[in-house]
């Protein structure tokens, strides 16, 4: 991918909770191109995944279609990325227990098979307001007013087919991160005078929303780029399956099912016997 870089660091105490235990497995990384008919990597995503104990993580670093009025193109880029089939090839030698880490009956070959997903990057969604109005509201600290005109939030709230409608984002409390004159605190003063917008975002997804707890969501003031970098800190609950306990629970469920099955069969026999 052009201009995208993904790097994952795992604390040693997490990766190796004991000298003979490696909690990290099923690592994989790939790219999805969306630019110029999916032939060029100027737009698209880097997708990385791994499991921690019995929880699968997927991280998407995205750069979507640019332009104030290209909301539909951005939506299509997301659909291309999230609906990519067999994005990760399956390793026939991998431990079968890894399947416990995935959700929805998936095997980890698709993005939404993963239990915990983080999607971020330059998503390029804009604020649908005039530039001078946006600048005035930012300077006055009226961010709540501007958020109602944010294209991404609008799509998440109103577009049922939008691919990020199952994702969540912490409340934005920082000023729009794009577009600045480099090495200044001034929004774009070039001929184009682009509308300041929250282009840079981080969203998350889990089947159980309580598994991810945002701790901080904000921006830093590095001014070497025309964007301000955004950072998120999260507390994530990771599950670990104990095989012996799982087997005990499975046997208990099967016993309950056999009792229920016998009951249903008896009721059916009685019903059809009475109607014969």
- In the DSSP assignment, the letter for residue 174 is S
- Return the number of other C-beta atoms located less than 10 Å from residue 100's C-beta: 19
The residues near 228 (Cβ < 8 Å, ≥ 6 apart) are 175, 177, 178, 180, 200, 219, 220, 221, 222
Judged against a pLDDT cut of 90, whether residue 46 lies above it is answered with yes
pTM of the model as a whole? 0.87
pLDDT band at 1 (very low <50, low <70, confident <90, very high): low
pLDDT at residue 96 in the model: 61
Judged against a pLDDT cut of 70, whether residue 104 lies above it is answered with yes
Judged against a pLDDT cut of 90, whether residue 56 lies above it is answered with yes
pLDDT tens, 177-211? 999 999 999 999 999 999 999 999 999 999 899 99
What is the average per-residue pLDDT within 70-93? Answer: 89
pLDDT at residue 92 in the model: 66
């Amino acid at each position: 991918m052009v201009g995208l870089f993904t790097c994952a660091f795992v604390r040693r105490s997490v990766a190796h909770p004991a000298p003979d235990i490696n909690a990290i497995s099923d690592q994989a990384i790939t790219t999805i191109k969306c630019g110029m008919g999916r032939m060029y990597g100027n737009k698209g995503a880097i997708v990385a995944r791994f499991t921690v104990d019995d929880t699968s993580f997927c991280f998407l670093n995205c750069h979507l279609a640019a332009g104030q009025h290209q909301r539909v193109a951005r939506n299509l880029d997301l659909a291309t990325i999230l609906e990519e089939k067999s994005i990760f090839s399956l390793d026939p030698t991998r431990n079968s227990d890894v399947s416990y880490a995935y959700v929805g009956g998936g095997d980890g070959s698709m993005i939404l098979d993963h239990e915990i997903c983080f999607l971020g990057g330059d998503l390029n969604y804009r604020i649908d307001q005039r530039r001078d109005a946006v600048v005035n509201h930012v300077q006055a600290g009226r961010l709540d007013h501007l958020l109602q005109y944010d294209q991404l939030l609008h799509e998440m709230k109103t577009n049922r087919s939008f691919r990020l409608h199952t994702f969540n984002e912490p409340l934005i409390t920082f000023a729009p991160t794009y577009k600045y004159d480099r090495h200044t605190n001034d929004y774009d003063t070039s001929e184009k005078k682009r509308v300041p917008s929250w282009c840079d975002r981080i969203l998350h997804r889990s089947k159980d929303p309580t598994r991810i707890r945002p701790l901080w969501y904000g921006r830093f003031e590095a001014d070497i780029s025309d964007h301000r970098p955004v950072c998120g800190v999260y507390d994530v609950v990771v599950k670990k399956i104990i095989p012996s306990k799982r087997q005990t629970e499975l046997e208990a469920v099967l016993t309950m099912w056999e009792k229920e099955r016998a009951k249903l069969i008896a009721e059916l026999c009685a019903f059809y016997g009475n109607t014969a």
